[in-house]
Chains A and B, each alone.
Chain A
C-alpha cells in the first residue's frame, strides 16, 4: 500500500505538483498517467527519495512508515519497502546479473556470497515465471531481459533491506517508470502478465505510462495527472481509452488518419534484391526488394531484431550495398551531401543530438559550414540565431530559448529539434526509425503529423516503427520484415491481425 497525501512541490517558483493525493491499495496495479511534464516523474522521484516534497506526506505499507515529506534517500525508500525501476536502466554492461543485483540491492563492502545471491535471483525469477541466468553479462542481454534484471534488483532491494527470507514482502511497493517504452510488442506481452503476478503476490505496483491500452490491460486503478494536479482517480473498469486520453491532454486527441492517395511520385528509394553476405549474423537480410516513391509513407513493421538495423544502415549508405539506389543521391552522399536524406534515428540522444550543445547549434549541426550559415569560411552566428528562432517557432519547440542546451529539454522537445533540423530543408527522402519512442500521446501525434505533412509536400518517407497502431495510422503501404525477409502485407487492403501474423512469421 502506498498513499500520497497532498504532495506539493515547486521548482524555483514553478509548481510541479499541486496537492497531489493518490492511494494504491495493497496487491493492486495502479496506473499513473500523464503527459511529459504532467508531474508523474517528480511524484515518483519524491516517493523514491530523490527529491523532497515541500508539503504533504507519504505513507508506505502501514501507518508506522508514514514519513512527513517522503523518504530521505533511495536507501531510505528501500528500507520502507519501496523499489523503483527507472526508465533508463542503470545496469553496468560489464557486470553479471548477480553483480548488478549485489550492487543495487545490498550495501556494505563485504564478501559477496554468490551462491546465495544466485539462489535469490533464481527464486524471484521463478516466481515471475522468467528465465534468468545469474551469470550472464548484462551486455549480452536484450533490452527486455535487462528490464527483468532491473525489476528483480528492485524487488531484492526491498526484500534484502527488510531482511525477509522471501524476496517479496506483502507491503512492498514497486514503481515501474514507463516500463514498456523500450520494449518490443512481444516483450510487452511478456511483461504485463508478470506485473499481474507481482500484484497477486501482494506487491503494490505503480505503473507509470502514457500508453493507454497498456494501462487498460494491466491496471486495476488509474490516477491521471495534468499540469501537476490529479484530474481523475479511480478504477480502470468503465474508463475508455478515449476518455483517458481526453483527461490526460484536456482535449480529444486524434491520431492523424491521412486520406489515402494513389502513388504518383517518382521513385526516391529503390532496393532490388538486397541480401547480406552469406556469413552475416542472423537475421541475414535476404532478397529484400521494395521502392519508396515521392508522396508516400512506406512503413516497415516487424519485431525488433529482424533485420531493421542492417536495412537502415544499407539505406543510409553506412554499409555498402549496391542493391540500394537513391535516385539523385550518390551512395556516399546520403547523409552528408546537400541532397541528403532527412534522418530521424532511433537513439536521438546519441545519434541525432549533441546534448551539451545549445538548441541553436544542434539545429545547424549539419549545415553550419555552408551558406547561409557560413560565408568564406566565417561562421555567421546571427544567421544561426535567426534560423533557430524561426524553427523554434515553426516547430513549436518549448524550452528556455535557442541558447539553452538540448539536454535541458523534455524528450518530446528534443525530438522536435531533430525533426526541425531534418525536415526544414524538405528532403526528398526521409528515414524515420521509431520516431515516437518515449514520447507522450500529444508529442507522438505531433511527430506523426509532421511526417504526414512532409509526405503531402512530396517527400518519400521510410518509416521503421515498433508501435503498430501508430504505424498503421500513417502508413500508405506496410511491409513486414521477419527473419531478414520482406513481405508486402497488402495494407490497407488487409487487417491488423494479418500484419501481426506476418510479424511473427505465422502467416
Chain B
C-alpha cells in the first residue's frame, strides 16, 4: 500500500510535529510584530498542556479541554501583559517569570491529579485524527497519498493552516495589520493616529497566549494523549528562534516549523531502526533542534526586526 511508504509516513509525521510550533509561532509572530517579545511562550504552552489534560481527563470532554487550555494560557498571558505592557516592566524578565510560574503550577496540578488517581485520559476522550471528528471525512483517509497527508490529520493541524492564512491576510490587507505594524515599529505613530498602544499590545499578547495554549493542548490531548512534566521540552524557545530567524515573516516561519517537524519525524524513524539502541535516545531527540537551528542560522540573513520590539511604551513617563 502506497500509504505505508516511508516517505508518506515521514511527511504525515512532519505535519503533526510541526503543528504546535506553527500554532504558537503564529501567535508569537503577531505579538512580536506588535513590539512585544514574550519569551514565556514555553510556559504558556506548558500551561495549555496541563490545563487541556486535566480538564479532558476529568470531564471526558476534549473540546472543553482545548478551550480551557486557551483560556488558562490567556489568564497567564494577561499577567504578562499587566507586567510588561501596563506596568512597563522588562519584557524578558516578565517572560522568565511566566516560564517559572508555569513549571511550578503545572507540576503542582499534575501531582494533585496523580494523588486523585487521574493519570491518563479516558479511552474515549482526547481528539482523534480526522477533521474534528466529522466522520464524513474519515472515508477519505485511505485515499492514496492525500489520505494521510490531508485527511488523516488532527483537526487542529488543519485549523492551524487556516489560521496562518487568515493571519497573513489580516496583517497584509486590513487596517489591523497596519496598526500592528505601527505599534511594533513606532508606537508614537499609532498613538498619534488615536489608537491605544496599550490596548493593541494587550490584544496581540492575548492572541499569542491563546495560540500557545492551543499548541499545548495539541501536545497533551492530541499528539501524546498524556501529560509528562515539562513535556514542552523547549519547543517554546524553538518557536522564538524560528520567528526571529524567519525575519518575522509568516512564509519563513512555516518553512522553519516544517523543517523542525521533518527532522523530528526523521529522528523518530531513526530510533526505530535496528541497532539504534547503541546510541542513547536523547541523541535522536536532540537532532531536530540542531537541524532547525543550524539550517535557519545558516540560511537566514539577519534582520533588525520590529524597531520597538521589547521596548515598553511610552519610553519615559
* Interface residue ranges, A against B (CB under 8 Å): 73-75, 78, 86, 90-95, 99-100, 102-104, 106-112, 355-356, 405, 407
Is B124 part of the contact surface with A, judged by Cβ < 8 Å?
no
- Contact yes or no, A86 B192, CB < 8 A: yes
- Contact yes or no, B179 A103, CB < 8 A: yes
**Which of B173, B185, B193, B316 sits near A94, CB closer than 8 Å?**
B185
Is B149 part of the contact surface with A, judged by Cβ < 8 Å?
no
Is B189 part of the contact surface with A, judged by Cβ < 8 Å?
yes
- Contact yes or no, B176 A109, CB < 8 A: yes
- Contact yes or no, A95 B174, CB < 8 A: no
- Contact yes or no, A108 B175, CB < 8 A: yes
- Contact yes or no, B194 A90, CB < 8 A: no
- Contact yes or no, A93 B173, CB < 8 A: no
- Contact yes or no, A102 B178, CB < 8 A: yes
**Which of A92, A109, A112 sits near B185, CB closer than 8 Å?**
A92
Residues of A within 8 A of B189 (CB): 90-92, 100, 103-104
- Contact yes or no, A110 B178, CB < 8 A: no
If A93-B307, A407-B316 touch, whether A110 touches B175 (CB-CB below 8 Å) is yes
If A93-B307, A356-B316, A407-B316 touch, whether A103 touches B188 (CB-CB below 8 Å) is no
Is B182 part of the contact surface with A, judged by Cβ < 8 Å?
yes
Shortest Cβ-Cβ A-B pairs, 3 listed: A90-B192, A90-B189, A75-B194
- Contact yes or no, B194 A95, CB < 8 A: no
**Which of A74, A102, A107, A356 sits near B192, CB closer than 8 Å?**
A74
* Interface residue ranges, B against A (CB under 8 Å): 173-176, 178-179, 181-182, 185-186, 188-195, 307, 316
Residue of A nearest to B194 (CB): A75
A405→B316 CA distance, assembly (Å): 11
Residues of A within 8 A of B186 (CB): 90-93
- Contact yes or no, B174 A107, CB < 8 A: no
If A92-B182, A93-B186, A407-B316 touch, whether A109 touches B192 (CB-CB below 8 Å) is no
**Distance in Å from the Cβ of A106 to the closest Cβ of chain B?**
7
A-B contact pairs, 8 of them (CB 8 A): A74-B192, A91-B186, A92-B185, A93-B186, A102-B175, A112-B178, A355-B316, A407-B316
A356→B190 CA distance, assembly (Å): 23
- Contact yes or no, A95 B185, CB < 8 A: yes
Residues of B within 8 A of A99 (CB): 178, 181
- Contact yes or no, B174 A110, CB < 8 A: yes
A74→B196 CA distance, assembly (Å): 12
**Which of A104, A111, A405, A407 sits near B193, CB closer than 8 Å?**
A104
- Contact yes or no, B193 A103, CB < 8 A: yes
A95→B191 CA distance, assembly (Å): 16
**Distance in Å from the Cβ of B83 to the closest Cβ of chain A?**
21
Residue of A nearest to B176 (CB): A109
- Contact yes or no, A93 B185, CB < 8 A: yes
**Which of A78, A95, A108, A407 sits near B181, CB closer than 8 Å?**
A95
If A74-B192, A86-B192, A111-B173 touch, whether A103 touches B185 (CB-CB below 8 Å) is no
**Distance in Å from the Cβ of B272 to the closest Cβ of chain A?**
47
Residues of A within 8 A of B179 (CB): 103, 109
Residue of A nearest to B190 (CB): A103
A94→B249 CA distance, assembly (Å): 14
- Contact yes or no, B316 A73, CB < 8 A: no
- Contact yes or no, B173 A112, CB < 8 A: yes
- Contact yes or no, B175 A106, CB < 8 A: yes
A166→B7 CA distance, assembly (Å): 61
A107→B179 CA distance, assembly (Å): 10
- Contact yes or no, B194 A74, CB < 8 A: yes
If A93-B307, A103-B189 touch, whether A111 touches B174 (CB-CB below 8 Å) is yes
**Distance in Å from the Cβ of A42 to the closest Cβ of chain B?**
17
Residue of A nearest to B186 (CB): A92
**Distance in Å from the Cβ of B178 to the closest Cβ of chain A?**
5
Q: Which of B181, B193, B307 has the most CB of A within 10 A?
A: B193
- Contact yes or no, A104 B192, CB < 8 A: yes
- Contact yes or no, A103 B175, CB < 8 A: yes
Residues of A within 8 A of B307 (CB): 93-94
